[in-house]
Structure 1
Amino acid sequence: MTKTLHYIFDPLCGWCYGAAAAVKAVDKAPNVALRLLPSGLFAAVGARPMDEDFAAYAWSNDQRIAGLTGQRFSERYRNEVLADRQQRFDSGPATLALSAVSLSSPAHELEALEAIQQARYVEGQDITRPDTLARLLKGLGLEAAAAGLLHSGAELLAANRARIESAQTLLSQFGARGVPSFVLESDGRRELLQSSALYADPQAFAAQIAKA
């Protein structure tokens, strides 16, 4: 019996970046289908300017995540992303890019998410820019998704809204607080997962889901 793990995230969420190893382990687990659902948490009304106070808060939080998970937050990210007062904290473009991948090459959406996170947190790229995102997608061989992102037609915008609405519905249904959140669906039943192994032991987290 195949189970579905609904992974609710935001591409600008540092804790979601910290959960990357666990998500990748689940993606490789037998009899588990991974469904990515961007929440839109930091898009639209959730977006904000990158001011001094918020940048300092973000960097402090990032260091906690790095210490817990081993994920890298580079000085280049600190100097070229957090210190850039023209670059908003806005996950809308990256969310739309992932929805473009989900339409044209759904099997590669997790790969695209990882590339976007790497570009921001390690390489210090501005992933709030559609041209940056399109270049990343093309580098993965996802030309159709890149073209779809730059065109942003009605089909893509509708699919993006539907994915965000699905994520928000699940969060509301289970009273989940923020992202990342994981909802496991098996035999017609859904449950919100709680696991201390998510950051400390990604393989144990994947094993927990496989055995659930």
Structure 2
Amino acid sequence: MTARLTYAFDAYCGWCYGFGPALREFAAGNADRIALRVLSGGLFSGPRALPTSAYPHIPGANQRIAALTGVTFGEGYRRALNEGSTVMDSTAAATALIALRRQAPDRALELAGALQRAWYVDGRSLSDVAVHRSIAAGHGLDADAVADEFLAPATRREAESEFREARGLGVDAYPTLLLHTPTGTHRLGGPVSTAAALTEGLDRHLAPTE
């Protein structure tokens, strides 16, 4: 039996960046028995789409994330954070993921990670179409097609629809990993869970009941 999972994340969510390595390891280790969908959330959308300087808690949060998950924040990102003018627009980031995965639907988790590395390592704005061209080229995708999709109003509307879907699933924090079963939808693990812990949780939910 293939288990259906939804990963609700935001490309501008530091905890999602920290969770990424464990989730990718979990997904690779269980590829034969899970179907994983990546759903973007609107953490910094609408009136919350503001420059990084509007969120002074970020550096402290990053220290906790690094300490608890082991991820490294890049020098380019630290420069962008210190400069403070980059607007974190989750709608643009979600639009970019849709544009990228349109060509490679089965690589959505990989492409979500690429978006996060562009920001959290290189400090590049996810509102910049040139960033998405670069990601596309680096992953063997058609950069022109990705750019066209990213700039299309319909793609942005699709991103906003994903935000509503995430809220409809009860997602109120990121990252959230949901397991869909005949008995309902269950949260699996948390932002500091290891791949092994996620697998153990999956095993428990999928174990036959007597």
TM-score class, shorter: 0.7 to 0.9
Q: How has the CA–CA distance of structure 1 residues 147 and 74 changed in structure 2, closer, same or farther, with 3 Å as cutoff?
A: closer
Partner in structure 1 of residue 59 of structure 2 = 59
Equivalent residues in 2 for 1:38-187, closer than 5 Å? 38-51=40-53, 54=55, 56-79=56-79, 81-143=80-142, 146-154=146-154, 156-171=155-170, 176-187=171-182
Deviation string, structure 1 residues 89-139 (Cα, Å, up to 9, x no partner): 222222101111333321121111111111211222222312212221222
- SS of 1:124's equivalent in the other structure is coil
Match status 1:205 vs 2:198: yes
CA–CA separation in structure 1 for the residues paired with 2:34 and 2:182: 12
One-letter identity of the residue aligned with 1:91: S
| Partner AA of 2:160 in structure 1 | R
Deviation by residue 1:156-208 (Cα, 9 ceiling, x = unmatched): 2343233222112112xxxx431111221023621233x36x52522221332
CA contact (8 A) 1:63 1:73 kept: no
Q: What percentage of aligned pairs have identical amino acids? A: 31
TM-score by length of 2: 0.85
Alpha-carbon contact 2:6-2:36 (below 8 Å) kept: yes
Query: AA paired with 1:61?
Result: A
Partners in 1 of 2:46 and 2:141 — Cα distance? Answer: 25
1:3 is matched with 3
Q: Which residue of 1 aligns with 2:208?
A: none
User: Could you list the runs of 5+ residues in structure 2 that have no partner in the other structure?
Assistant: 206-210
* TM-score using structure 1 length: 0.84
